[in-house]
Structures are given as structure tokens and as C-alpha cells.
């Protein structure tokens, strides 16, 4: 069997953390099994779908390195949906219902008031042809429901949740087509999965009850259902389901300087007991991906953890990988010098400003004489070799200083900061003339 997975976002907004995780896991599973990862744009809702969001979804997946083998759009497949819909109507598995939203709401309230589950009572099935004709003559347009088979329980083996059992008699016949003719999610998704040969559906556990309904739709359409993996939902760092996670998107990660490698490394392992490591190459993530490793407990997404992981990945990035994002004149030596002190690649520009100058150094105060001595010594050392250690050794001999009193005033005068990259790597980049000017000015 060829493994084919799909990521099916609705183009009503930007991708958020949960979407990214779903896309990544579908992509990883397809990669591990030599299969295909597809993008399906669920744009049946014409009023809310926007082309700019389709473009942003494509761009976000490309930035993350999750390139689909193919793309389909539901808005281009309405003829297929109608044909399969008509087949189910003819077979008696889809039927018209005429209750208004207000009538259905009243029914639910009455059932709840009686301590009963708010399940649709199938009153529409009791209507005669004459009843339906009268309603339609009065201008009442029907919505359409899929008729569940109550004869046997719905069961499947979920790749994460294990054995699943649902009693269809406790579930409402789902609406599949609105009165205005527009499609709801349930049936078109099943038709697409059959037509596209989807072998595995990977999505959040909030879809578990949808899966139970859709399994009967697969059967009614004469197709075997795909394998399903329902993942535990993400929680925020505060320990409960976070509304913020639904708004944090790829655009915000990019603006914050988060690397795609960091997002992949974290979300590939989140929800497993496997360690989250600063993996730049996707190969280890692909090789280690296994639904059996994922637990059913909510997975905790911590933006602070992502930031720490991002910094560790930045420390491994080569100059070639980041050159286009650095100041134009910044070369490999400068990148390698400042890289260990960066949390994001963008911070390299701050250190390039320190190298190029000018810097705003604090007043020398009681170190003024020491820095004047440093300027004099700096003018005599060999700048072709290791000027930092040569300067420090000469000043130690002349002044008797050592440790922090020796090094900190020099760092402050040369960089304007108390902390930063190794001065042995930084000082040659600052260069003799700039260094002498900064020490003398102090």
C-alpha cells in the first residue's frame, strides 16, 4: 500500500501551532514510508475563504520545508461531490430535513430538560411525499442529513488512541448539505479521501466523533476507510488549553526570529517521551517518527522552550545558511565569532554594529588610567596574531590586574557591553584602528 497523507486547512486565516503540528506529522509519516504528502485546500465556505490565505498557507509550508507532492482545492470538486451525494440520496442514506435552526434548538432544549441526549429525532423521515411537497411549496428548502446505520457499533483501531467504539444510536444524523446548497465538512472530506487514495488521516482528537460518522460514510460509498491517528491537543504553558495557541502563527514565529528547524524539532517530538533536541536535519526526525510513541495526554507547548531550542539551533547554523540574512559586509569570520551569543540570526546585526562602531561605552571612571595604559600597549602589540591575549598578557604584567578587573574594563570600552562573544574572536574584527580609538576615548 502506498502511504498518502493529506493536510487540509481552511483558508480562513493563517496557520497556527496546531495546524503546523498536523501538517508536520502528516509530512513526516509520508516521508518515513516513502509515500506522498498532499495539500487539500478546504475552501467550500466561499464567504470566509480568501485567496490571500491560500497563498500564505503555501508560503508557510514552503518555509517549514513541508512541500506537498500535489495540491487540490475543494471548490474545484463540487461536481464530484454532487454526483456521490446523488448516489447516496438514491440509496436512501441521505434524506431531506426541513426544521429551522430555531426548531432544532427548541428540540434540543426539551431533550436536555428531560435529561435526554440532544440527538436529532429523525422526524423528517416520518414526512410523507405530500408533507414534503407542501413544505417546499411554502418555500421551505431542506437541508440534507446522512442517515446513520444503528444496526452495529462503529469501531476502528486508532494508531494513537487504540480501540475506539461508538454507538451510532447515540449520535445525530449529521447535516452534510445546507439548505442553500453549500457543503459542510463531513461528506466532501470523505469523498476526497476516497478519490485521492488517502491511506492515513492524521488529525486532532477533537475529530474523533467526526471519524465515527465518516466511517459509515466510507462504507455507504463502498470504500474502505483510511487508517486514523488522532493526536492529543496542545496545551499552553499555563497548563490548560490555551486560546493563544490558536492565534500564534508562522508569521509571528518568523517575526520573532524562530528558525523552521526549531519548530520542526519541537513539534515532531512534542507529546512523546523522546527528547527534544536541536536537530537541523529532518532525517533523524523522519527516522524516529512513530505514532506508537505519542501518548493520549495533552502535549504542552511552551514558547520559552521553543526560544531556547531556537538559540541552540542558531549556534549550529553555517555562514552559508544565513548569509543572505546578515548585514551585507558581514563575513564568515564575524558570523562564527558572534554566533555562540545569539538567540536569533537577526541579533547578528547588533553585534556587527558593535564591530563596525560607533559604540556607546560607559564612562571609564576609576578605570580611566588603566584604559589609557591599555591604549598605549595596544599600539605596540602584534595585531597579525592574537591581539586579545597579547594585550591582556602585557597589561597583566604592567598593572598586576587579573580576572574581572583586567578584562571587564577592556570589554566595556571596546564593545560598550558587559557580556558578549569571546574577545579573542571579536577584537581582530574590530581591528587595530577602531580598538585604539575606543580605548583612547575612554
Better-predicted residue by pLDDT, 247 or 318: 318
pTM tops 0.85, yes or no: yes
Please give the C-alpha separations between residue 432 and each of 184, 353, 389, 416, 437, in angstroms, as whole numbers.
70, 16, 14, 17, 9
Q: Percentage of residues in the chain with pLDDT exceeding 70?
A: 98
Cell, residue 396: 597583566
Amino acid 123: pLDDT: 96
> What is the maximum alpha-carbon separation in the chain?
110
* Lowest-confidence segment of 121-125, 232-236, 259-263 by average pLDDT: 232-236
SS3 content of the chain, % helix, strand, coil (to 5): 50, 10, 35
Q: Tell me, what's the pLDDT at 248?
A: 79
CB 261 within 8 A of CB 322: no
Going by C-alpha positions, the residue among 70, 51, 88 that lies closest to residue 191 is 88
> In this structure, which long-range contacts are made by residues 376-385, counting pairs with CB atoms below 8 Å and at least 24 apart in sequence?
378/432, 378/435, 378/436, 378/439, 379/436, 383/428, 383/431, 383/432
Left if phi > 0, otherwise alpha if psi is -120 to 50, otherwise beta: which for 232? beta
DSSP for 173-238?
A: PPEEE-TTSPBPSHHHHHHHHHHHT--EEEEEGGGHHHHHHHHHHHHHTT-PPPEEEEEPPEE-TT
Quickly state the pLDDT bin for 280 (edges 50, 70, 90): confident
**Spatial separation of the C-alpha atoms in residues 37 and 28, rounded to whole Å:** 9
pLDDT at 442: 66
Q: What is the DSSP string of 335-391?
A: HHHHGGG-SSGGGHHHHHHHHHS---PPP-GGGHHHHHHHHHHHTTS-TTS-HHHHH
Does residue 112 contact residue 81 with C-beta atoms inside 8 Å? no
Kindly indicate the confidence band of residue 240, based on its pLDDT and cuts at 50, 70 and 90. Answer: low
Crossing angle of helices 387-399 and 404-415, rounded to 10°: 130
At residue 241 the predicted structure's pLDDT band, cuts being 50, 70 and 90, is low
DSSP 8-state code for residue 440: H
Tell me which residue has cell 410523507.
128
Taking the CB of residue 295, how many other CB atoms lie within 10 A of it? 12
pLDDT score at 291? 96
Q: Is the pLDDT confidence value at 250 over 90?
A: no
Residue among 13, 63, 18, 59 nearest 262 (CA): 63
- pLDDT bucket at 247, cuts 50 / 70 / 90: confident
Question: How confident is the prediction for the chain on average, in pLDDT?
Answer: 95
Average pLDDT over residues 149-176: 97
> Cis before residue 81, ω within 30 degrees of 0?
no
**CB–CB of 55/285 below 8 Å?**
no
pLDDT tens string 38-89: 999 999 998 899 999 999 999 999 999 999 999 999 999 999 999 999 999 9
Phi, then psi, of 204 in degrees rounded to 5:
-75, 160
Q: Which class for 74: exposed (0-12), middle (13-18), buried (19 or more C-beta within 10 A)?
A: buried
- CA-CA-CA-CA torsion sign (221, 226, 229, 234): negative
Distance CA 80, CA 127 (A): 29
The answer to whether 146 touches 217, Cβ cutoff 8 Å, is yes
Residue 432 is predicted with a pLDDT of 97
pLDDT tens figures, 284-317: 999 999 999 999 999 889 999 999 999 999 999 9
Q: Which residue has the higher pLDDT, 249 or 366?
A: 366
Q: What is the DSSP letter of 1?
A: -
Where are any strands of DSSP class E within 239-316? 299-300
According to the annotation, is 243 in a ligand binding site? Answer: yes
| Whole-number pLDDT of residue 239 | 58
pLDDT band at residue 112 using 50, 70 and 90 as cut-offs: very high
pLDDT range class, residue 236, cuts 50, 70, 90: confident
Question: Residue 408 has what pLDDT?
Answer: 97
Q: Is residue 251's pLDDT more than 90? A: no
pLDDT tens-digit series, residues 341-367:
999 999 999 999 999 999 998 898 999
Taking each helix axis as running N to C, give the angle between helix 404-415 and helix 368-378, from 0 to 180 degrees, rounded to the nearest 10: 80
Amino acid at each position: 500500500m502506498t502511504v498518502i497523507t493529506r493536510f487540509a486547512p481552511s483558508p480562513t486565516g493563517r496557520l497556527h501551532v496546531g495546524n503546523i503540528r498536523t501538517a508536520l506529522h502528516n509530512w513526516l509519516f509520508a516521508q518515513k514510508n516513502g509515500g506522498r504528502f498532499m495539500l487539500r485546500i478546504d475552501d467550500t465556505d466561499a464567504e470566509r475563504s480568501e485567496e490571500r490565505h491560500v497563498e500564505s498557507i503555501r508560503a508557510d509550508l514552503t518555509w517549514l520545508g513541508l512541500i506537498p507532492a500535489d495540491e487540490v482545492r475543494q471548490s474545484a470538486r463540487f461536481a464530484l461531490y454532487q454526483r456521490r451525494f446523488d448516489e447516496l440520496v438514491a440509496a436512501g442514506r441521505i434524506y431531506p430535513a426541513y426544521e429551522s435552526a430555531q426548531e432544532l434548538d427548541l428540540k434540543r432544549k426539551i431533550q436536555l430538560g428531560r435529561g435526554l441526549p440532544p440527538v436529532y429525532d429523525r422526524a423528517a423521515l416520518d414526512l410523507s411525499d405530500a408533507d414534503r411537497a407542501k413544505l417546499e411549496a411554502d418555500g421551505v428548502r431542506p437541508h440534507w442529513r446522512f442517515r446513520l446505520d444503528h444496526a452495529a457499533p462503529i469501531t476502528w483501531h486508532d494508531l494513537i488512541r487504540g480501540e475506539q467504539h461508538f454507538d451510532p444510536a447515540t449520535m445525530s444524523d449529521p447535516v452534510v448539505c445546507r439548505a442553500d446548497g453549500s457543503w459542510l465538512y463531513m461528506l466532501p472530506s470523505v469523498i476526497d479521501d476516497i478519490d485521492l487514495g488517502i491511506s492515513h488521516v492524521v488529525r486532532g482528537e477533537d475529530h474523533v466523533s467526526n471519524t465515527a460518522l465518516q466511517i459509515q460514510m466510507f462504507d455507504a460509498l463502498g470504500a474502505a476507510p483510511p487508517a486514523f491517528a488522532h493526536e492529543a491537543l496542545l496545551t499552553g504553558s499555563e497548563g490548560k488549553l490555551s486560546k493563544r495557541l490558536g492565534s500564534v502563527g508562522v508569521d509571528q514565529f518568523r517575526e520573532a526570529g524562530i528558525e523552521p528547524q526549531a519548530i520542526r524539532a519541537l513539534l515532531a517530538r512534542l507529546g512523546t517521551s523522546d527528547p527534544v533536541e536541536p536537530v537541523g536535519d529532518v532525517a533523524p526526525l523522519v527516522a524516529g517518527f512513530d505514532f506508537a510513541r505519542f501518548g493520549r495526554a495533552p502535549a504542552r507547548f511552551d514558547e520559552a522552550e521553543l526560544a531556547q531550542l531556537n538559540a541552540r539551533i542558531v549556534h549550529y547554523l553555517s555562514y552559508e545558511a544565513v548569509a543572505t540574512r546578515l548585514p551585507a559586509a558581514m563575513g564568515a569570520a564575524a558570523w562564527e565569532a558572534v554566533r555562540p551569543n545569539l538567540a536569533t540570526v537577526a541579533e547578528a546585526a547588533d553585534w556587527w554594529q558593535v564591530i563596525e562602531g560607533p559604540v556607546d561605552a560607559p564612562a571609564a571612571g576609576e578605570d580611566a588610567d588603566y584604559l589609557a595604559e591599555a591604549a598605549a600597549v595596544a599600539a605596540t602589540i602584534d595585531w597579525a596574531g592574537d591581539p586579545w591575549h597579547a594585550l591582556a598578557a602585557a597589561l597583566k604584567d604592567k598593572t598586576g590586574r587579573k580576572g574581572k578587573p583586567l578584562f571587564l574594563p577592556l570589554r566595556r570600552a571596546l564593545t560598550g557591553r558587559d557580556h558578549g562573544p569571546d574577545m579573542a574572536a571579536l577584537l581582530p574584527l574590530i581591528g587595530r584602528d577602531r580598538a585604539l580609538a575606543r580605548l583612547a576615548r575612554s
